[in-house]
Amino acid sequence: MKTPVSVLRLPRGPDPNSRGFDPNSPRFIALCPTTVSTSSSGSVDEEEQRLRSELRERFLRTLLLMTDKQVQFDMFEKVRVRARFGASDIDVLNFQVSDLETPLGVQKEALLRCHDVISCSFEP
Amino acid sequence: MVEWKQQKGKWMKDTLIEEYMPCCMIIWTEHCKDGILSHNRPRSPVSMAMRQTPLTCSGHTRPVVDLAFSGITPYGYFLISACKDGKPMLRQGDTGDWIGTFLGHKGAVWGATLNKEATKAATAAADFTAKVWDAVTGDEVLTLAHKHIVKSVNFTQDSNYLLTGGNDKVLRIYDLGKPEAEPLEIAGHTSAIKKALWCNNDQQILSAADDKTIRLWDKNTKEAVKTLSFDASVSSMEYIPDGEILVITFGRTIAFYKAHSLDLIKTVDAPASIHSASLHPEKDFFVAGGDDFKLYKYDYTTKEEMESYKGHFGPIHCVRFSPDGELYASGSEDGTLRLWQTAVGKTYGLWKCVLPEELSSENSEALYCPPAEIKA
């Protein structure tokens, strides 16, 4: 009876909450020191960074404001649906919505793929 | 052999046990009474064959249809897997640890590849697109629209050009420096292209299609320089630049050709239909897997079957040796990737060579000993 080779541990599996590519890994830090697009002069960099932060903050605040509101989603293939917006996931890949009005009826709970959404509009 | 150390000292290449004979473990005999491991000490080894422990990488939810390794980088080497669930994954090559998932494709991913430095990844999918990704951040860099399912993607050595091939029977070459420009097109195949690879210093292209031919094309003239015809559809193709060897599988046969001339070197027949094979970088062995769920290991010189391993729960779709030849990875219909040691029992990656005395000592608590039965 042969002895099986011992193993230190099993390979780590995917993290259910994120798509990975840890920004704190040595490889990431060495190869991507900055994720902002290249600009030659420093002051333009800062200004651009400030504007980006502002836009990001506005986007996140819009998402917060959208919570529990009736939102109309315009999607590909001329799809327009209305639903009550619940939440977004961390990478903004999916929107959790309730009472989604579809041609097939009202779906109590659903996930919308953000990749398929072109725009969304709502009354604040 | 390359020595690598990670920045935080997380893993180091273990040089102590380097000289172990393949497929067996050396136990000290009466000759070495003091039991000191020393490179200079003459020893008379008593071999005790060890059983292969494959490392299973889970995460995919559908069959794994393609896999590719990067070259050896300062951070080790990496592995990308293509899966019908549409979510190709990047893993650390020597441990199988998941690094990230490339999200964006809307259909099954049929082909995946990494550039040599593992800074870029490319994928081919059933959503009629090929995508180029930043393999460090996981971000999608480019989407290349096609007119049908894309099956194969391959970077040139300098990572500046991407070759694609798929069900529309046309080979396309994209200049990644000018992504909006129209790709160079090479037509000729009469059925869907399964695999397309750069060869001969990126001056020529090898393509395998469902029309049961493999064609060698000149990149500049866009003409077919040579054509090989088979009785059955070619299931896989691997190109080894060092030595210019082409590894092809069809039916139960694994065939080796000279890449320049497409002259046959040798063929080997396996017990079952083979879907993929890979030749070791040092060309001492090759591995093959297919319909019977088993992985076969053959001596390349003598063509003798050396070992066969069970472990997968479905047909094996792809198998590739790592760039350092220390392990090979297999992807299966069962949705898993498995890593197998070339030298069974050697300390490498997550595998730890354990001398019999250690098994019963305190050291063994840190080790994971796999159970006799491997369950799904």
* 3 state SS for B280-292: CCCCCEEEEEECC
Give the pLDDT score at B29.
Answer: 32
User: What's the domain range around B371?
Assistant: 31-57+236-376
Instruction: Tell the residue number behind the tokens 């600009």, with chain if given.
Output: A39
Chain A residues with CB under 8 Å of B59 CB are 13-14
**How does pLDDT run across A28-61, given as a tens digit for each residue?**
999 986 654 444 455 667 888 899 999 999 999 9
Give the pLDDT score at A7.
Answer: 93
- Into how many domains does chain B fold? 1
Residue B84 resides in a domain: no
> In this complex, which of B8, B53, B101 lies closest to A14 when CB atoms are compared?
B101
**How far is residue B337's CA from residue B178's CA, in Å, rounded to a whole number?**
35
Chain A residues with CB under 8 Å of B95 CB are 11-12
Give the pLDDT score at B22.
Answer: 38
Residue B320 resides in a domain: yes
Give the pLDDT score at B357.
Answer: 59
**How far is residue B246's CA from residue B258's CA, in Å, rounded to a whole number?**
6
Residue A9 Cα, gap to closest chain B Cα (Å): 6
pTM, two decimal places = 0.73
Residue B46 resides in a domain: yes
Chain A residues with CB under 8 Å of B364 CB are 6
Residue B323: both structure tokens together: 């760039």
CA distances from B298 to A52, B252, B289, B303 (A): 57, 14, 11, 6
Q: Which residues contact A23 (CB under 8 A, 6 or more apart)?
A: A29, A32, B137
Residue by residue, pLDDT tens for chain A (124 residues) are: 688 899 999 999 999 889 999 999 999 999 986 654 444 455 667 888 899 999 999 999 999 999 999 999 999 989 999 999 999 998 888 999 999 999 999 999 999 999 899 999 999 8
**How far is residue B224's CA from residue B22's CA, in Å, rounded to a whole number?**
42
Residue B81: both structure tokens together: 């897997």
Residue B284 resides in a domain: yes
Residue B188 resides in a domain: no
Please indicate whether, in this complex, the C-beta atoms of B345 and A35 are within 8 angstroms of each other. Answer: no
Measured from the Cβ of residue B195, the count of other Cβ atoms closer than 10 Å reads: 23
Q: Which residues contact B245 (CB under 8 A, 6 or more apart)?
A: B239, B256, B257, B258, B259, B265, B279, B283
Residue B56 Cα, gap to closest chain A Cα (Å): 7
CATH of the domain at B299: 2.130.10.10
Residue B16 resides in a domain: no
Per-residue 3-state assignment (H helix, E strand, C coil) for B310-323: CCCCCCEEEEEECC
**How far is residue A86's CA from residue B244's CA, in Å, rounded to a whole number?**
57
- Mean residue pLDDT of chain A comes to 89
Residue B303 resides in a domain: yes
Give the pLDDT score at B347.
Answer: 93
Size of interface A-B (CB pairs under 8 A): 117
Please indicate whether, in this complex, the C-beta atoms of B59 and A91 are within 8 angstroms of each other. Answer: no
Chain B residues with CB under 8 Å of A16 CB are none
Chain B residues with CB under 8 Å of A11 CB are 55-57, 91, 95-98, 339, 350
Give the pLDDT score at B281.
Answer: 95
Give the pLDDT score at A124.
Answer: 84
Q: Which helix (H) or strand (E) holds A61?
A: helix A42-66
Residue B103 Cα, gap to closest chain A Cα (Å): 7
Regions of chain B where pLDDT drops below 70: 1-48, 356-376
- The candidate with the shortest Cα–Cα distance to B214, out of B250, B242, B185, B244, is B250
DSSP string of B160-188?
Answer: -EEEEEETT-EEEEEETTSTTSPPEEEE-
Residue B155 resides in a domain: no
